Amino acid sequence: MIKELWQNFPRLIEEKINALLDEAEPSQAKAFQLYKTCQQENLWSESFEKFSEHLDHFFALPKHDRRKSELDRLLDRPMHSSVFAGFHLNFRTASVSSRSVAGLANWAHNLMRVGYKTDSAVISMDVLTKTLHYITHPPFFEKAENIEFEDFCAAWKKTVFGLFGKKYDAELDKIVSELRWLQTQIKNEEKALQKSGFVPTIYLTQTEIDWTEAVLRAVSDNTDIPKYPLSKGPQKQRLVDLVRTISLYKIVQTTKLPEFIEHRDKIRATIIDRCEKLLNECAR
């Protein structure tokens, strides 16, 4: 499991950084800008405080449920699609949870420590947290969305240089070179798939697909995970492994004990990763 995660680290770090926006809220400045826009378009006539409550409700929804119709229901009248486009967030207009950033830094730190087998200062929690903070609070000359692996590397190098100067250049270059090599392997595999056409690695029935999608939504939203729909249980190994991981997750899902919270978050990330892979790789 660790080996597989490490081999996919460049892709996963991209996905996880961009996913921070999925749970973000508008910054105070962005919220006020949206409020003024809606006022000018005669979409809203009440206070900013009341408008902020509606914004909180809208952005608390899973990303796939944030539809224009949901906002139209909350406003005085339906908005034009061009106004709705203004509700899109990037890292310059969003307020990203510091807890989520710390969780991602912890995930990256542990995977680098175990996958690359190093305790170098360049992979410390402090360094990685500051790197992610730089990405999620970008200066005007930096990208504010669609972050790629190279953007992470550039921010990482700037952070290390800002903290230590050139002291750890050699160590950082070795790790980045290893990760870039992994990134090359990932891209080569993707190109091979594009040339040969998509070849599913697993065949799922529609019932299995629906259940996997429901599990992904439930874990992402921290709601009750549905039971496997067939009484005889899953027969495919990857689904068997997923059910076992879900059983373990349910044991620690509501824990308040600090020693189990980190373990719970790792299991949750594993379930999400496995569901996404099953849905991406299955025949439909």
**Segment 87-114, tens digit of pLDDT:** 999 999 999 999 999 999 999 999 999 9
Supply 43's token pair.
């979409």
According to the model, what pLDDT value does residue 196 have?
58
According to the model, what pLDDT value does residue 195 have?
66
pTM check: above 0.85: no
CA distances from 189 to 11, 12, 151, 198, 276 (A): 12, 15, 22, 11, 18
Supply 196's token pair.
């040969």
**Residues 132/102, Cβ–Cβ less than 8 Å:** no
Neighbours of 252 (CB within 10 A): 17
| Residue pLDDT, tens place only, 13-46 | 998 999 899 889 999 999 999 999 999 999 999 9
Measure the CA–CA gap between 170 and 183, rounded to whole angstroms: 20
- Helix crossing, 169-196 with 9-19: angle to 10°? 90
Which residue shows structure tokens 């980045």?
176
- Helix crossing, 48-60 with 28-40: angle to 10°? 110
According to the model, what pLDDT value does residue 252 have?
78
According to the model, what pLDDT value does residue 259 have?
64
pLDDT less than 50: residues of the chain: none
Supply 22's token pair.
């999925």
According to the model, what pLDDT value does residue 2 have?
73
